[in-house]
Structure 1
Amino acid sequence: MIGDVRAVTARDGWAGVGAALARAEESIAALPPPDARTAAQRTRAAGVQDEARALRTAFLDTHVDAVYDRLTEGRTTPLRLADLVSAAAVAYPGLVPTAGQLAAERKRLQAGKEGHEIDQGIFLRAVLASPVAGAHLLDAMLRPTPRALELLPRFTETGLVDTRSVRLERRDGAAHLTMHRDDCLNAEDEQQVDDMETAVDLALLDPGVRVAVLRGGEMTHPRYRGKRVFSSGINLKSLHAGDISLVGFLLRRELGYIHKIVRGVRGVGGASWHSRTVEKPWIAAVDTFAIGGGMQLLLVCDHVLAASDAYVSLPAAREGIVPGAGNLRLGRHTGPRISRQVILQDRRLPATDPDARLVLDEVVEPAAMDDAIAAAVDRLGGPAVVPNRHMLNVAEEPAAEFRRYMAEFALQQALRIHGADVVGKVGRFTQRSA
């Protein structure tokens, strides 16, 4: 099969590949919707999809840089993830799903989807794996969002911006990003990812900010009413409902605001010939727990403090998905054995556990959190902090290493969110939470 695929790619180029993908799409379209297919029809669909995906992979293995150059006009136009896949759908029909296909998928529960995002994962793996195209895409993702640029004058003047998910407030040179999705224990969905990237951009672009602080707000959940919670990770109800997308959430989160926390924001403000990005130190303050994506955030912050009654965990294997770049970063903090216990076996680390101190810099009594945050802000406010944290990040996580990891993540996570085990787990979670 692979030999035939490569022969089609080499002999006919995109014309032959596009025609073959169109025939595959027609074959799939002739079947009932995914959740209405018989076992034989599911087997047939899987076979057609496998052949089509092998063809896409073979074509991109050879032509990804040429495809990317066409989409970005010779790398003169920086396109963010969503714009890039949209442009590819128009320029190369069948290579990635169309806007119409994605819109139809969005109306379905996760269990009823065709899995078109896997084809986006194939495309983005190839782009990110390329030292040329991938580096250009990562650079494009460091640029501030239009929403942040629109809000910047207001935040610079007032020091306050409220979004649905995040409250951003500047106090005495520190930007305090408070996650306040009290309805879901700060579980992240696409709205929160957008709000977080906006807030991160604003904190980095405002010249009045020296240090940024991430913390969770007070909850209204009956079990945690009146208590602060850092984050409960991905919103599994949104995943079950089909509202967690590969591009808009899973990849944008990693390549957007978390990437900017590590490497800064690109292209405006204080960037200059000697500093391509504006960087600032980040403090994370953990109340109650940091689960999943919440714990992932701790791994990119410069100082992490936690209340003594808090805990951290990365329940990736239990949820069935890959915990973002946690697999890349956790072992640097804990060593390989503990990272495998946390990621593969769902080991929870209470803040008072000695092993937790490999992730946490400081553990204090809950009543002392505010004072500890203020002291950390003072320590990280010096002029030499930014260049030193920049060099630490260069040494610990070279951009090329991050790019290669994210290339494989793009496909593996796309496969995982459509895995039968994941669909079953999030469905059971939603039933228990109803």
Structure 2
Amino acid sequence: MASYKTSTGEAYIEIARKSLLKLAQDFADHDGNLNVTLFAFGTTAKQVITLNNLTESNVDQLVAKIEGLVAGGATNYDHVFREAATWFNQVSGNGYNNVTYFLTDGQPTTWGNTGMVTNRGYLTQTDVDKALESFAKLSAVSDVHAVGFSQGIQERMLNFFDNTVAEGNSVQYDSFGFVTDYKSPVNYSGSAGEAQVVSTPEELDAALESGTVERVLNSVSGDTLYGGEGDNILIGDSINTDHLSWTNGITGIQHTAGTHDGMGARALTEYIKWTENNGSDATQEQIGDYVRENWVKLLDDRIDGGNDTLVGGSGNDILFGGAGNDTLTGGEGADQFVFLANSNSGHDVITDFEAGVDKVVFADLVSPQQLENAVWDDANHVLSFTGVAKDGQTYQNSITFQGLSAGETLESVLQNHIETLG
């Protein structure tokens, strides 16, 4: 792992260290009881640290051990699999879910407690057989997510050391041989999962976080939000914080814009924690102040969303339902009903639009005349339009203005009731 490097020149051991530091902090923020152990393996395996109930108060111990990791020696799958299986059998109890993250930059080239070398460090059938035998023991007690680095390993081989698959079913591969880095063909056979082979720091982060190199946004559900008194900002579904950047003061990990896409509100709390609070948790007041000052930047243009109900109450409120078929009630005061024209905003209903007081605001348009294929149905007070979202698809959207008097035209609606921010 020390010799292999990414296309940017960074050693695999360094990106592994950074991703593990990030994962350790994520684990420490976990609400449940989390027992963690770390094994380093080369010619043999070594248990570096074990922590029962990992929390913010003791994560620094794990961080120190990760920072001290070094690469070298042969690659002993057999020993580390047996050691991990033994540890799980010792600590597992009712209600625990056992998960193993197996990171490697090479194929098994030795085996045993002392690192048996049968072919001067080249891959042999014995190395593979011993590794598969020990993996079976670990696989019986734990989910195993295998992650390899692209220059040192082939995904098809690594699949035999992973027992997780997207559809939840085991995969059976036929025995096969392939020729790299050894003196005679070697065969692998047995059940195989879906390992991940990565080549960039971002892919490694994603693989450790979710078991896949593709970042997948969590689905959003329908929310019901009540603002009450005061000038409120209500945002349904999620907020977009992909543009924020901060550095974790404990791990040293830099979270630059675009590397944490989809974190939403959690990214905002981390941003405030490390850019304003020197490691102290963000307060609700700080979060509220940030949203009030930057709400336009936080609007999320994701194409999926729940069917939200937003009620502003008294005061001059800002309501953004996002994707989905939302019901928006401003209540008393001069309210802004905010939309993104170029999105899948859905078929939304404003229940109490007051002409001359309330406004519909398109945050991504410079002028109301930019609204594509706009049609006004005066009988039902419905403004229909199309929007091309970030997935390239064209969506049919509409806004119903309940409370608006009859006799409006498309021109009068665009001129008198709609504003833009772009």
TM-score (ref. length: structure 2) = 0.23
Return the structure number with greater relative CO, CA threshold 8 A, min gap 6: 1
TM-score (ref. length: structure 1) = 0.23
**Higher-helix-fraction structure:** 1
**Higher-strand-fraction structure:** 2
